[in-house]
Amino acid sequence: MTTKVAVIGSGNIGTDLMIKILRLSDSLEIAAMAGIDPGSDGLARARRLKVATTHEGVDGLVELDEFAEVSLVFDATSAGAHKRHDEVLRTLGRTVVDLTPAALGPYVVPPVNGDAHLNAPNVNMVTCGGQATIPIVAAVAAVTPVHYAEIVASLSSRSAGPGTRANIDEFTETTSSAIEQVGGAARGKAIIVLNPAEPPLIMRDTVHCLIGDCDDAAVTASVEEMAARVQTYVPGYRLKQKVQFERVAIDDPLRSLLPAASRSGQAAKVSVFLEVEGAAHYLPAYAGNLDIMTSAALRTAERMAAHRTTKVVSS
């Protein structure tokens, strides 16, 4: 039994997601794609692939005959546009998987809390930087409290389309919030870097966690196990080197980020360096930032669909 879905957004992310659904999913069937640019490559590809299309956005989508059988919609547009999309789709009883940083629904990072919001009407996929780094923060937090976590996501300028560039502020705010709410850090900070290097560089992410004293081997094992879990749906996700540990000196300014009661005790900074290579379903392999978002959204939707199918069968 398959679940019929639609995609709003015919740009890089929406098109890659459409292709992933067609190629990789046994449980989801794409019924329609909506965009606002009638000349977009995404809509042209959808038509060639026999997917129903409209260039009139969400209003055109809900008028398509195919929409009647759609139960889940991916929004791959912008944070600004998502609010209205959610209002329209929620009224019509459709579930929404949000790939923008709007964060109207609960955050979902598949290997961390992938089963936590299966009945939610709207779930948010955070950001590409969040999908890459929050699993690592959570892996460290599973072993020892993380007092502060800072992530730096470096993306190729070529892989950052208009939607990504328009949402830079939302990217940092949403990612920082999810580092705390999903990753488990007491405080979180996110930085994004658009790298103009030629040839384009593969997505790189750095995670720094400030913790108290810890068992280095236990933290390393937790991080490596989490990386392996992400690789099950993002094969190009990998650790660039071994997990790094640096003991924080008693006079180091980093100690100001610790709770007052902990500043005189042992402290350490854990650093993890990641690379995310895309599967190149639609865009080049350097666009791992897009690949991890669409892969996480696909995994989340498949879990939600399976859960709801199970409920229907059991009832």
Active-site residues: which are they?
128
Neighbours of 222 (CB within 10 A): 20
- CA-nearest of 235, 22, 272 to 143 is 272
Query: Is 165 flagged in the annotation as binding?
Result: yes
Query: Is 289 flagged in the annotation as binding?
Result: yes
CA dihedral 175, 177, 182, 185 (to 10 degrees): 100
Query: Is 122 flagged in the annotation as binding?
Result: no
Token pair 């009832």 is found at 315
Which neighbouring-strand residues pair with 93?
none
Decide: 43 and 106 in contact? Cβ < 8 Å.
no
Query: Is 19 flagged in the annotation as binding?
Result: no
Tell me how long the chain is: 315
Q: What is the 8-class DSSP label of residue 259?
A: -
133, containing H or E segment: helix 128-141
Determine the 3-state secondary structure of 148 from DSSP: strand
Query: Is 12 flagged in the annotation as binding?
Result: yes
Decide: 297 and 75 in contact? Cβ < 8 Å.
no
Query: Is 163 flagged in the annotation as binding?
Result: yes
Query: Is 124 flagged in the annotation as binding?
Result: no
Query: Is 195 flagged in the annotation as binding?
Result: no
Query: Is 218 flagged in the annotation as binding?
Result: no
Distance between first and last Cα of the chain: 16
Query: Is 10 flagged in the annotation as binding?
Result: yes
Query: Is 151 flagged in the annotation as binding?
Result: no
Token pair 């190729």 is found at 156
Query: Is 23 flagged in the annotation as binding?
Result: no
Annotated binding site for NAD(+): 10-13, 159-167, 289
Annotated binding site: 10-13, 159-167, 289
